[in-house]
Amino acid sequence: MLISRNPSTEEIITEVSPLSEREQEETIQRAQEAFDTWRQIDIEERARLMQSLAAHMRKHQQRFAELITEEMGMPISQSQGEIEKVAWEAEYYAEHTARFLAPDERDIGARESYVRFDPVGVVLSIAPWNFPFYLGLRAAIPALMAGNTVLLKHASNMPRIAQTLEQAFEAAGFPTGVLQNLAIETRDVENIIRDERVARVAVIGSERAGRSVASIAGDEIKPQVLELGGSDPFIVLEDADVKLAAQNAAKSRFRNCGQSCNSAKRFIVMEEVFEEFLTELHKEVKKVALNDPFNPETTLGPLATYGGLEEVERQVNESVEQGAQVVTGGDRAPRKGWFYQPTVLTGITSTMPVWAEEVFGPVAPVMAVKSEEEALHQANNTRYGLGASIWTQDDERAKQFIPLLEAGNVYVNSPVRSHPHMPYGGVKKSGYGREFSEYGIREFVNIKSVVFK
């Protein structure tokens, strides 16, 4: 059974029975049959439908935002922003796909030679719960614009939102079967990946999920795009605008209750400004409003799952046992629901769970370093490599760091964010492949060389 609970009240919202084997077969076959037609629809018509989807998202922004807030606990003001990001991505690919997939002519001395980009077929998109609309469609939108059809396997605790996403495509006018909600349990995913009608797999999720999917898809020799975990370093050099850095540190770390792959998770601060940064960060934490996520003034809601709450609690407790010092927070909030207090820790060593592991919750471990070399070492001292941010008023100094940072995204004087115009993805255990821009849509095509002699 696929069950969603309200993380603020701990009450069951809805229960959905997973598809039977026969229903799974029918769903895949509909996707295959829809592909045979959808691939022949010109890009201009696909773009018109995608613009219609963007308009539908904006029209129903408040209702969709409320679904997010109820089903996973994101503060309502942030949920509204998530719906806008879905519309933004849909419009972006509607506008640019024709250029991204236009034949690329090459001069090799033949009568005619070029590279073309053809759809591959049925794409399985496995989506997480932490941004259920935005991440639910981040791979699906370019895959569809490229002419593929999509099976959306959403997180098991998001069954109502998964149904809503399928209904949104129907309401926007997309043909039946182009995007379908694949309501299955995790144990059924392997059979779907191995189905010969499924051509590509896209995963946004944990390292464990990526490892499992990559193993199965690799055995079937099927390409994958993996956007997995992150433990992004936030490097504050001594010439930084410390107040600005602290404001953005809090904004990045506590957004969506710290449940974002690309949020800053490890704070590396030069000794010269360590105390100043800590003071400013503490001020920002005091501004965090932990409350009912439907309250428009709330900035920190509950964690989305009880298991997530227990994991954050374990990571903090074990780190404190190893010598970490609690500056603020460090415990559950004294109220019903899966709330955890915004937490700042110092006295950090690289073996503590809050540093060595990805912490998916509102916890900021802050480490003092003595040199740029030590800062770089600690930044790269992780199995993840999704993003990194550098805070300095010297651009040339930042440019010396950038090529040495083991990350797919580096931002200077800004938190790491995803942006449709820029390729997005990681290295090391953060996955491979890219989303967004022309790099992202070309993950879902057959790059075909054509030569006329």
Just list the catalytic residues.
227, 261
Distance CA(209)–CA(405), nearest Å, equals 25
Which residues, including other chains, have CB under 8 Å from residue 67's CB and lie 6 or more apart?
A: 160, 161, 164
Nearest in space to 141 (alpha carbons), one of 175, 100, 179, 182: 179
| 136 contacts: CB under 8 Å, gap ≥ 6 | 127, 152, 154, 158, 161, 162, 165
Contact 76, 63 (CB under 8 A): no
Record the tokens describing residue 242, joined without a space: 């410390």
Positive or negative: CA dihedral 154, 157, 158, 160 = positive
Cβ–Cβ < 8 Å for 378, 367: yes
Tokens linked to 11: 């009450």
Query: Are 415 and 263 a contacting pair, CB within 8 Å?
Result: yes
Q: Which position has the token pair 């070492």?
A: 377
- Residues 32 and 196: beta-carbon distance below 8 Å: no
Residues 6+ apart with CB under 8 A from 41: 147
Measured distance CA(287)–CA(357) in Å, rounded: 27
For the record, the structure tokens of 98 come out as: 């024709």
